[in-house]
Structure 1
Amino acid sequence: MNRNARRPIGLAQLSLLNTAPPRLVDVAAEAGFDFVGVRVRPVTPAERPYDLQPGSPMLRETLARMNDTGVGVRDIEFLLLDGSDQRDAWLRMMEAGHALGASSLTVAGGDPDTARLAHTLARMTEDGRSFGITPTLEAISYQPVASIAQAAGIARQASCRIVVDTLHFNRYTGPGAAAQWDELRSNADLVPLLQLCDGPAERPGSRDSLVTESRSERGVPGEGEFDLFRTVAALPGNLPVSAEVPSDRRVVELGELGWARRLKAGVDAVLAEADAGRQGSSFLAAGAG
């Protein structure tokens, strides 16, 4: 396997949403990834649920494939915090995540009451300690918590972390959008994982179109118009990166493994260019001194 020597590289479940976790682990291993993200709770009623609760046959099979391949699970998903009492749901997710060896649980802020959302996340953070799992709040461009600044402010109140997704980072156009890069750099200490994808510079014109793009048609890293090199360079050089690139059309065209290999090649190319740029900047700085 061609594993990255500098940082772990993962394959997010959303890239192959209909691939069950045991098979996802195998595909990730064959394509050269180090870890996977696993969806232990479906986001929509139309999604296929994966039962990964302790004692389930699918959990046993997934753990066996992880043991055989050396591919781990770093993050689990997904819970939209909407202001309702969802403690039972996140406790079940944490049970599954702990069994898989995950360290983070991705959530989104669907609750417009910021104080209540911060309180909910603080409860999650406290619950997660016994499972070794920290909630990570993702800024999503079409949800109430849409910017890095919003997510970071809430996460610091709740003592949790944030995950950065390059699609939503580029699609955010609300208040403070011009300061997104500064916010990314100043809150890098909160980021345990960068989710990488690409896309056209032009933002979809409606919320429905944003949702469709997010869930089913993103671009291979390095093949679109996002400034991925700048994003990577704004964060630590050893930060884990996960390819989160759903594309219903291209999965059908290339197959699971073909699509995974395409994504791995794209991520490798982006990271290589970003690292070269980082090294070049360091060389110039040293020369100037």
Structure 2
Amino acid sequence: MTALRPEDVDLTAPLGGLTVPNPIGAAAGCAGYGRELARFVPLDQLGTLTTKSVMAAPRAGLAIPRLTETPSGLLNAIGLQGCGIEALVREELPWLAERGARVLVSIAGERLEEFAATAERLNGRPGVAGLELNISCPNTADRGLLFAGNPAVSYDVVRAVRSVTDPGLPVYAKLSPDTASITEVADACVRAGADGLSMINTMAGLVIDTETLRPALAAGTGGLSGPAVRPVAVRCVYQVHAAMLAGRIPRVPILGMGGVRTGRDALEFTLAGASGVAVGSALFRDPAAPLRILEELRALLAARGFAKYTDAVGVAHRAES
């Protein structure tokens, strides 16, 4: 490959039926509704900003403590704390639109009807670039919201949302690694009308405090994020993209995430088949990480002769010549 100048690399990336100026965004749950992150990063410089998950009504979340560190990541049991869809529409979305953010609104629900009703409120909202269906949250008290463990139920959620949303509004389904059939779940979501897939959500984990002799989180188990999950996330993206290449799943963009800290991490997801990459828990340590990661990724693509970001998507699947 011929080396290029980094500034000559075309970083535009697909987002469902839309195109965003670069592939690096902020993942759900780590940047709130954008106000905190805006102190460090101009939101319009992100490819996308995914909000923390919102439900039909405000939600207090789980009891504290609900966050603890692990040697290579974080374990959280926040419990989908949020402002509710009406406050999001009234207060947060106009503020984000004024700043030029391309927003993916993460929505969650306890029933199909709640997913659909929440999604419908987002039709035609300025600045909303798409929806991310949180069908895979593993950190509720009874794991009752883990729709993504079952292909048939995942299909029903996506279908319910797709039936009430504008055709031009991209819908991404966020998948869980806590399943033995992630390609089957991915296929069900795409057949139901998902325009893309977000991969992956946190993994279920447990930390026990050896001083109190009890679980470190009030809820017991929580969702593991950070560098520890990256190999699992890359594997999931690779498997699903391989199934797309083989014709077992219709081809849609994949938004990859899980332990991304550097441009090399982002490139790894891209080579596995991700058409975009979201930064999550790294934001807690370095809120400006997405812009640094983007420049690192740009340099790596140039050094490897990729004139366009999209040329690198899925390259790890190509047979050696």
The bucket for the TM-score relative to the shorter chain is 0.5 to 0.7
| Alignment map for 1:72-221 (pairs within 5 Å) | 72-73=102-103, 75-79=104-108, 85-96=111-122, 98-99=124-125, 100-108=127-135, 110-111=146-147, 112-129=149-166, 132-142=168-178, 144=179, 147=182, 149-165=183-199, 170-171=231-232, 182-186=242-246, 190-197=251-258, 218-221=259-262
Give the aligned CA root-mean-square deviation in angstroms: 4.5
Q: Give the match for residue 228 of structure 1.
A: 269
Q: Structure 1 segments of 4 or more deviating over 6 A? A: 166-169
TM-score w.r.t. length of structure 2: 0.55
TM-superposed deviation, 1:37: 2.1
In the superposition, the TM-score normalised over structure 1's length comes to 0.60
**Distance change >3 Å, CA 127–CA 182, structure 1 → 2:** same
Select the structure with the greater relative contact order (CA < 8 A; seq sep ≥ 6). 2
* 1:264 aligned residue: 294
Q: Give the counterpart letter for 1:114 in structure 2.
A: P
Which of the pair is proportionally richer in helix? 1
In structure 2, the CA distance between the partners of 1:146 and 1:271, relative to structure 1 (3 Å rule), is farther
Taking only the aligned residue pairs, the percentage that are identical comes to: 8
Q: Which amino acid aligns with 1:136?
A: Y
Note the residue ranges of structure 2 that are not aligned, 5 or more in a row: 1-6, 13-20, 63-77, 137-145, 202-228, 316-320
Contact 2:107–2:131 (CA<8 Å) still a contact in 1?
A: no
Aligned residue pairs: how many? 237
> In the TM superposition, what whole-angstrom CA distance separates every residue of 1:100-150 from its partner, at most 9, and x where no partner exists?
3222323335335433432332222111236x43432233212x4752x21
Q: Distance in 1 between matches of 2:41 and 2:246?
A: 32
CA apart distance, 1:272? 4.0
Cα drift, residue 96 of structure 1: 3.8
CA contact (8 A) 2:135 2:175 kept: yes
Q: Which residue of 2 aligns with 1:246?
A: 281
Alignment partners' CA distance in 1, 2:26 and 2:261: 13
Cα distance between partner residues in 2 of 1:28 and 1:274: 28
* Counterpart residue identity of residue 119, structure 1: D
User: Residues 24 and 36 of structure 1 are in contact (CA less than 8 Å); yes or no, is this contact kept in structure 2?
Assistant: no
Contact in 1 for aligned 2:26/2:50 (Cα 8 Å): yes
| Counterpart-to-counterpart distance in 1, 2:90 and 2:102 | 18
What whole-Å deviation, never above 9, does each CA across 1:55-102 have from its counterpart, x for those lacking one? 623333222222xxxx322x221437xxx5232344224424642322
Question: Match of 2:50?
Answer: 37
Per-residue CA distance 1:220-239 (angstroms, 9 max, x = gap):
144559843522xx46xxx4
Query: Whole-Å Cα distance in 2 between the matches of residues 275 and 164 of structure 1?
Result: 27
Q: Higher strand proportion, which one?
A: 2
| Residues in 1 aligned to 2:234 and 2:256: alpha-carbon distance in whole angstroms | 19
